[in-house]
Structure 1
Amino acid sequence: MKKVSLISLVFVLCLTLGSFAYASVDNLPTTTNEIVKYNSTIHETSDPELTMKAEMQNVKSIKNMEALEENKLRELFNINEVSSTIMATPVTVAIGTDKTLTTANDGDSDTSKSGTSASYHRYTISSRSAEANSWASIWGAADAYAYVGQTFKTTGTTSKSAKIIFSGTYRGDMVGGINGNAYAEIKVKLWDSTDSVWLGTQTVASASSSNNLSKTLNGNINHAITATLEPNHVYFPYIHVSTAASEYGAHISNSDFYGDSTHRM
């Protein structure tokens, strides 16, 4: 039996929430516990249509962010082909051999928002961390994503199937207000930067919240993507977090994977 190449990618992504001061939402609560208490003091009549509208807005936001992410991946690696100084040299992996990667050399983060809202996002290569936070109130909406990973370049003469294994942890909190919704998802992805296409995506976890009910999303990343690797291609496996919050009332909705050391992915 031929040996199948195994590439194990180990990332610890910091998805945190808590004691971060948001300049655009001064004097309003930002942690999940504070938001639940704050929302409880505001009388808000539940409207199922508005709650559904908030949920659909977050679904739309996640789809729009994925399209933005794809475009930026294409731009990023097109630039890297022109200038090798943009990105660190990819790790070399011989097709048919096992390889463990415990570093990161690239990532990205972005956001969009409207109305009364705030968002925060960042990735850190040195700690292999990705963080995102979306906060919304009073007919506002926000979304944010971040990802981090390690590029590698294959050597060899023939294509072979490989299993890319991702390891790590994640943790974050969320609360959707009445007539609002908060959402988050964690994914692992494999991008073929030579052909500018995703070879695989696995959803690690996802959750949403409404009606002023808080949720904690935490666990381990132990997922794999199986794909056929081609010789002399550059691949980018990465771990990804997306958050979205929408609110069509006076409550606050918040999906928080950003800011302190008490929550990690």
Structure 2
Amino acid sequence: MDQSPGAATTPLSTARHEYEAWLFGPFRVHRQGAPLGDPRGGRAAARTLLKWFLLNPGQEFRDRELAEVLWPGGTGNRANRLHVTQHSLRRVLEPELASRQPSRFIRSDPNGRYWFEPADCWWTDADDVALVTRSARAAHRAGDTATATECYERLLAYYDRGFLPEEVYQDAFAPFRAVHEHGHEETLLHLLRLHRRAGHLYEGLTCAMRVLDRDPYSEEAATAAVEIHLEQGSLTGAVSQLEQFVRTLSEDLGVAPSPRLLALRERVRHAR
């Protein structure tokens, strides 16, 4: 299940588990440090099923719910297709399983319910993102700027890879994607504030511009960029950035400059 032989294979976390899975960037799974192959025939549905299980550990799903994830709007005997798919996935995850031997992870019952039990054997980068996010927030609240900055930088290393890019058109994953999109934006804003507080002009400006690339209507990022240009002595950069932002608000949204932007425009005018 490794689609990127040249990709980094070491988790950002220092923890090591029997299985490691990356959902940011090209999806890949390692077992004891070695990449797993694809399910027989390169079955795409088995890969999608594993992604779904990893994002919903321990949660029970009816067979029809999983079938809708794998083949949305499909017809025919999807229950049988699901049975074949989960069997294929079990074999690639645990090739040593004897015939009819139950999987350690993929569970089911006679009522057509399926669930995934990681059993402390699995590490995923999505779980690490949640862990690092909690650490970043705790450090931020405690005023530990260095640790908070380090954590937010680690989060960006994940977010920059993109979350499940090969499933971008799969609606079932949209809620997870929305959470990580929001986390990406929040991480950049937190880093922007931390760098500004520490007087890191270049890093702060980089964060501000990255926020604006994602959200061209972010007044906080635009204001920070203008103010950093002024601190750097780049009046031309400040004027250009401010006027471009005001023009974007007007042309795209029909919004007039806020009092804060008008005050900033006065600062820039007096700096000339």
Shorter-chain TM-score tier: under 0.3
More helix by share: 2
- Which protein has greater RCO, CA pairs closer than 8 Å, 6+ apart? 1
Of the two, which has the highest radius of gyration? 2
Q: TM-score, normalised by structure 1?
A: 0.21
More strand by share: 1
Q: TM-score, normalised by structure 2?
A: 0.21
